Structure 1
Amino acid sequence: MLVIRPITESDLPALMQCAEESGHGFTSLPVNEEILSNRIGHSVESFAKAVTKPGPEGYLMVAEDTKTGEIAGTTAIEAAIGLDNPFYTYHLSTVVHSSRRLNVHNVVKILTFGNDYTGVSELCTLFLRPEWRQGLNGRLLSKCRFMMMAEHPERFDTTVIAEMRGVSDEEGHSPFWEWLKEHFFSIDFTLADYLTGIGKKGFIADLMPKLPIYVNLLSPEAQAVIGEVHEKTRPALRLLEKEGFSCRGYVDIFDAGPTVECDARNIESVRHSQRCTVTVGEADNGRDCIISNSSFEHFRAVVGKVVLDEKNATALIDAEMAEALQVNNGDQVRLIAQ
């Protein structure tokens, strides 16, 4: 069984391993021990902090195998992005150039550089190691964040986004970045991605073109990947789309991967999750549910069989699940059937 819990200082080696395995383009997991250590420290402080409205808190969690103690993956939420470090995006929109006198009418796409998502909450750092990519583990790692949002809405913004990794090859070459590099940056995608991941974003403001970019002036290769996702990111995107997330024209400034968003109240798992009272017993005949406790500082989430009585708002779970969730008879949990 995997249990999702807040990260601790002792998880640094495991987080480094996840960073190394995640590959190019995974900006929020740079292979840098100092940066990851600082991020863990910030998360520990954030989980312990009393919060009434979202701020610069970052909540980083890991999925632990309860039998082996191994860390199977990681997932996170940033409460309000762009407050300490700017959060840049491109917005893809349409403009029309026309002349009645000449009977010319051209519709073109443009990319506009900006900070429109400042202050929103962000789903990030979702990575599941290959050995555990089966069953409902991927859903657990993704949906546990929505259970947290449903139970503790005061900690998050009303708008939630997620950046999807864009197209790049195994060597880290991004067709979109190759065009930007040639004309504006003169550094490799992997270096630009790494610098962003460790918070050194000053070069973006220094070198990024401030005026809108006409898409039809980009190389055909760059145009083809705007709004497209990396093949390894497609399962994560499908999960978010089922939750109600969609792209509103915003893409990443480096690889042009789509940014998807949803109103927090309209996220399917937030809307349909329910609070129940726990009973511990035999739950072999139950149905699969993602279930979390009601604590924030000691948040726990698992997936497994639950005998759910929706009318009386009770949930029968077995002793193993109760131990993983750190709950007893009569405690409150939040769950959603799968």
Structure 2
Amino acid sequence: MTFVIRAARDSDLQPLYEMAKLTGGGFTNLPPDRAALKIKLVRSAAAFARSDDAKADDLFVLVLENTATGEVRGTCQIFTHVGQSYPFYSYRLGTLTQHSKELGRTFRADMLGLTTDLEGCSEVGGLFLHPGERAGGLGMLLARARYLFIAQHRARFADRILAELRGIIDEAGGSPFWDGLAGRFFGMNFQDADQFNAVRGHQFIADLFPKHPIYIAMLPESARAVIGLPHPSGRAAMRMLENEGFAYENYVDIFDGGPTMIAKTDQVRTIRDAQPARIVAIDDDGGDAALVARGLLADFRCAYATIRASADGVVLGREAAAALGVGEDDMISHVARA
């Protein structure tokens, strides 16, 4: 059984919607809303169709397809430059130090400041793998395929790249962080705010969010305890990001307090290590486990493969070659699976 990553199409709307209903909330980039998902697919199609490399607010939606059945079993997204259409807000954790000579004491207060520091960065997000496929490294295939796509379209992307991880969500689908901070200003629960944001964007944040720093000590313990922590289901994703060179730099999501991971684009491991090569032969005589990608824009495809070096290029396994739609003399990009 072979899975391949490819560009999303209009016909993928229904499977994307079905997967969106399985996310459990707090997954802004994959809302269980047909109209919002349709808008994403239209926007993605426009990005895939654009041939120039000018800086733009593009969104690319990719899907994981089972080549044997044609079923879509996962998805991920790539944003070229966030904050171009509307501000990209984050909270930045900082410390204010004050000294009282009379008391002979120094006071340090941890604070959350609303910021748009990360505007202009690229973003990887929207990764979701169907619960029935969470084996065989398919989550890693989805994640790393995004970086091979970026490597093959480097001029379209920024010099820094971020990934927002979903924060802690309670059993009722609420967010302790939201309830302890923003919910007090908005008069709506987390689910409503998250859905509103997913469908209509961030402008309401600019209109209503407090602009002054928030003293963390003034928040309830339930909110303080989850700042910068990923949802339990996102811990593996956080480890994958760290393995790629991403780091937590004290930025958190304004809705659920989840961590924002940041890296220099050219230092992301998969992007840095990706190698172009020409296929000189296709056989089943073995090789090293790798991720292999071919094609640009809507023709992009990525899959796991066996690959081995030869004098003039590489030899690719038959199953992967069929899934990728490549043959001898075609060019690919590859990186070690480990």
> TM class by shorter-chain length?
over 0.9
How far off is 1:195 after superposition?
0.8
Partner of 1:325: 324
User: For 2:285 and 2:226, how far apart are their aligned partners in 1?
Assistant: 47
5+ residue gaps, structure 1, are: none
The Cα offsets for residues 140-171 of structure 1, whole Å up to 9 and x where unpaired, read as 10000111111211011111000000001232
Give, as a single letter, the amino acid of the residue that structure 2 aligns with 1:216. A
* TM-score w.r.t. length of structure 1: 0.96
Q: Tell me the SS of whatever aligns to 2:298.
A: coil
User: For 1:3 and 1:314, how far apart are their aligned partners in 2?
Assistant: 22
User: For 2:112 and 2:200, how far apart are their aligned partners in 1?
Assistant: 24
User: For 1:184 and 1:2, how far apart are their aligned partners in 2?
Assistant: 45
Query: How do 1:59-78 residues align onto structure 2 when only pairs under 5 Å count?
Result: 59-78=60-79
Q: Tell me the SS of whatever aligns to 2:108.
A: strand
Give, as a single letter, the amino acid of the residue that structure 1 aligns with 2:65. E
Partner of 2:292: 291
- Checking the alignment, whether the CA contact within 8 Å between 1:57 and 1:78 is kept in structure 2 is yes
Query: How do 1:1-338 residues align onto structure 2 when only pairs under 5 Å count?
Result: 1-181=2-182, 183-309=184-310, 312=311, 314-338=313-337
Moved over 4 A (4+): none
The Cα offsets for residues 280-338 of structure 1, whole Å up to 9 and x where unpaired, read as 422342121011004223100001222234xx462211333222212221111111112
User: For 2:52 and 2:166, how far apart are their aligned partners in 1?
Assistant: 30
How far off is 1:53 after superposition?
3.3
- Checking the alignment, whether the CA contact within 8 Å between 2:88 and 2:202 is kept in structure 1 is no
User: For 2:319 and 2:259, how far apart are their aligned partners in 1?
Assistant: 39
Give, as a single letter, the amino acid of the residue that structure 2 aligns with 1:318. G
How far off is 1:182 after superposition?
5.2
5+ residue gaps, structure 2, are: none
- Checking the alignment, whether the CA contact within 8 Å between 1:108 and 1:216 is kept in structure 2 is yes
User: For 1:336 and 1:316, how far apart are their aligned partners in 2?
Assistant: 14
User: For 1:51 and 1:215, how far apart are their aligned partners in 2?
Assistant: 45
User: For 1:95 and 1:313, how far apart are their aligned partners in 2?
Assistant: 60
Q: Tell me the SS of whatever aligns to 2:28.
A: coil
| Equivalent pairs, count | 336
How far off is 1:181 after superposition?
4.8
* TM-score w.r.t. length of structure 2: 0.96
User: For 1:200 and 1:296, how far apart are their aligned partners in 2?
Assistant: 26
User: For 1:85 and 1:308, how far apart are their aligned partners in 2?
Assistant: 47
Q: Tell me the SS of whatever aligns to 1:27.
A: coil
Larger deviation, residues 75-84 vs 173-182: 173-182
**Paired-residue identity, %:** 35
How far off is 1:201 after superposition?
2.7
User: For 1:315 and 1:283, how far apart are their aligned partners in 2?
Assistant: 13
User: For 1:18 and 1:244, how far apart are their aligned partners in 2?
Assistant: 29
